[in-house]
Amino acid sequence: MIDDKLQIAIETLKKSGVRITPQRHAVLEYLLTSMSHPTADEIYKALEGKFPNMSVATVYNNLRILREIGLVRELTYGDDSSRFDSNMNDHYHIICEDCGKIVDFHYPTLDEIESLAEKVSGFEISHHRMELYGKCHECSKVKVQ
């Protein structure tokens, strides 16, 4: 399952003429395995056991390459670190304002809104993004009063 996705991703890398280094493989595997939406630094820390000498720059470089090839999406929220998502299907995100957890939210794409926006603004709309903010179940429980 994950292995299938990994094999397909590696095929895509090969087709694009991108070398499969151990570090790159590890970053990719981590993104595909991880159910979270990790930051570059989280990936860096998660892999430092396996690659004690790997530099953050390598993580960033690989994330950029994976993004350019279309294997990974970069999620940018505010001033904080970018987060990376290997789920390339259209979906929205729900973000916990307390703990920062991000969960996927599947909902039909808001095409009508794009059409209306085109009409009223004169823009050629290419895509949109939406995030919902709130408190996750765990964080809601914490401060009861």
By CB under 7 A, tell whether 41 contacts DNA: yes
Instruction: Find all residues with CB under 8 Å of 6, minimum gap 6, and list them.
Output: 28, 29, 32
Cα 89 to Cα 57, 85, 107, 122: the distances in Å are 27, 10, 11, 28
Is residue 128 marked as binding? yes
- Angle at which helix 40-47 crosses helix 22-33, to 10 degrees, equals 110
89 backbone dihedrals φ, ψ, rounded to 5°: -75, 150
Pick the piece of the chain touching DNA (CB under 7 A) from 34-42, 86-94, 99-107, 113-121: 34-42
Q: Which is nearer to DNA, 39 or 86 (CB)?
A: 39
Picked from DNA, its own copies, none, the partner binding residue 33 (CB below 5 to 8 A depending on kind) is: none
Applying CB under 8 A, among 76, 88, 90, 109 the residue interacting with its own copies is 76
Between 46 and 96, CB nearer to its own copies: 96
Rule CB under 7 A: is residue 46 a binding residue for DNA? no
Q: Is 57 in the site for DNA (CB under 7 A)?
A: yes
Sequence-ordered list of residues with C-beta below 8 angstroms from that of 133, at least 6 positions apart, any chain: 94, 95, 97
Smallest separation (angstroms) from DNA to the CB of 21: 4
- Contact at 8 Å (CB) between 109 and 125? no
Smallest distance from its own copies to CB 85, Å: 14
Q: Which of 9, 54, 71, 102 contacts DNA by CB under 7 A?
A: 54
What is the smallest separation between the CB atom of 138 and DNA, expressed in angstroms? Answer: 23
CB contact set of 60 (below 8 Å; sequence gap of 6+): 40
